[in-house]
Chain A
Amino acid sequence: MRRSVTIRVVQHRPVLGDLEANLADHRARIEAAAEDGADLVHFTELSLTGYALGDLVDAVALDPAHPLWPEVLALSEPADVVVGFIERGEDGFLYNAAAYLHAGRALHVHRKVYLPTYGAFQEGRFFSPGRSLDVFDAPWGCAAFLVCEECWHPSVAHAAVMQGAEVLLATANAPGRGPVDGGWASHRGWREILSTYARVYAVWIPFASRVGFEEGFIYGGGSAVVAPDGSLAAEADFLEPAELTAVLDAAALRRARVANPAHGIERHELLIAALQRVRTAAGEAASPAVAPEVEAP
């Protein structure tokens, strides 16, 4: 990391389908966070729309021609912003997307690669999957997104860190399951996973996880800022809205990497060879290779 970042993680309840109300709420929170000295305000997955949209994803999809798009970009005038939204791609398909906004422009847009379509989840019905595991150069260092289900695919975190990511920006719309010991068993599981990634890879992981009730899901909150040693630098309640402030300290990241250089000596050729054998065995040799769109700095 080139420098430390003061982050404000927002655990909120978006208004389902109301872009203007959610924009106004984002704007107010960003202005307040900037006044408090935050460099970056980190919202949840689909923070501008809510989650349980069903067929109505089309009604609130954004593209550069949308009349509200300039207002989305303008959110980042007081501070950098991570937002979740529905992107109407130039190909006409709809994506569950997360954007890093900086100084009135979208520095990076990530299209969620893994869309959960099993059990209670139906994202594959309504969205097209992203095709790329990217990192990007944020003003303070190298970052990548982990959008909800992607946190449950270690390959996504691995690909990000191997391309240079120092901060994994995690977001989620996850229903709480297992009301035990004053919180959700499910969301303690989320924190365990992220804590493991942070510790193994020596990265910062701010995690914005929404709350509120929508279409039968009680979202489980439990947002956190996970430090490069796996500890929680900040953590939120499992039901109520909350805002967390923490410093993603560049020196702490440096120290963690000195103490734990394991991933720095990763032998990519062994993994590539193993995956190639898997691919060959599965008869998938014809599927297209996935290449990062942005080089690690």
Chain B
Amino acid sequence: MIGDGGPPALDAEFTVRALALSLSQMLEDAGRSGFVVGLSGGVDSALAAAVAARAVGPQAVHALFLPGPGTPEVSADNARSVAEHLGLALETVPLAPLMDAMPFPAEAHRRRGNFTARLRMAILYDRAAALDALVLGTSNKSEMALGYTTLWGDMAADCWPLGDLYKTQVLAIARAIGLSEEVVGRPPSAELWEGQTDEEELGFTYRDADRVLYTYLEGRHRPEEIAGHAAEAALVERVLQRVREQAFKRRLPHVPKLSTRTIGHDFHHPRAWRGPA
């Protein structure tokens, strides 16, 4: 048996209020004017954008739709409808011309997919510089725990407002605050190549993964406690193997320590600081 049955239901309105407060204060601390966000047409970016719009007003959130070779037309429709629903300006930058400059072998799905994610990152950061904005990350806790993300690609951002929400909690909150079923009900996909879905590639559903992750991370159960019988033991093993193997994506790179005070080891400064040094 798997522990408590998964992440708890949260108060959607209070959660959005709390996250919006954190975003508005991050922006104030950073001294920037707004956020840029890549809208994929999926639920994570839609919810992140909704929180940002709540935090700082839709006029201070610049949305980009960045279609690549794996992006279906329905994503464009969804991105447009999300931007319209939230009152955001939406800019479209097709990646095809940039992709053409970097040919990949046909079978190199993953390399090309990661390259696509990093192109999106480069465009978002450029727009953020132009607009005096912060890049709004859209990764959720399930993706980050599983490492189902491109290092320095979709994971590259100035903040991760959804980083402590499991995917199933993202879905519930998105529904509760009125994001459309076309967006919330779509099978999750990174759309790094045509027909890709997260759950097919991972080999398990987010619902199952979240039960294991929540029970392990927050319930602090040992793997053998989570796995009550063979079928579930295999699932627990697959999920926790990803957590283990992808740990590097959740940490900044190693700095081999040489001095008496080293960045990443014993140099602890906050990000926002207005007093004396």
Contact = CB atoms under 8 A, between A and B. Distances in A.
Interface of A: 13, 15-19, 21, 49, 52-56, 59-60, 122, 125-126, 176, 178-183, 212-215, 218, 238-239
B270 A52 contact: yes
Interface residues of B, number: 25
11 contacts: A53-B270, A56-B277, A179-B18, A180-B11, A180-B14, A182-B14, A183-B14, A212-B21, A213-B26, A215-B271, A218-B22
A215 B21 CA distance: 13
A179 B274 contact: no
B18 A59 contact: no
A218 B15 CA distance: 11
Contacts of B103: none
A19 B275 contact: yes
Contacts, number: 78
A75 B268 CA distance: 31
B11 A215 contact: no
Contacts of A178: 8
Interface of B: 8-11, 13-15, 17-19, 21-22, 25-26, 267-277
B270 A179 contact: no
B274 A18 contact: yes
Contacts of A53: 270
B274 A213 contact: no
Contact of B276 (A15, A59, A122, A239): A59
B259 to A, nearest CB: 15
A55 B268 CA distance: 5
B275 A16 contact: yes
A181 B8 CA distance: 12
B270 A212 contact: no
A21 B273 CA distance: 12
B21 A239 contact: yes
A194 B277 CA distance: 37
A138 to B, nearest CB: 31
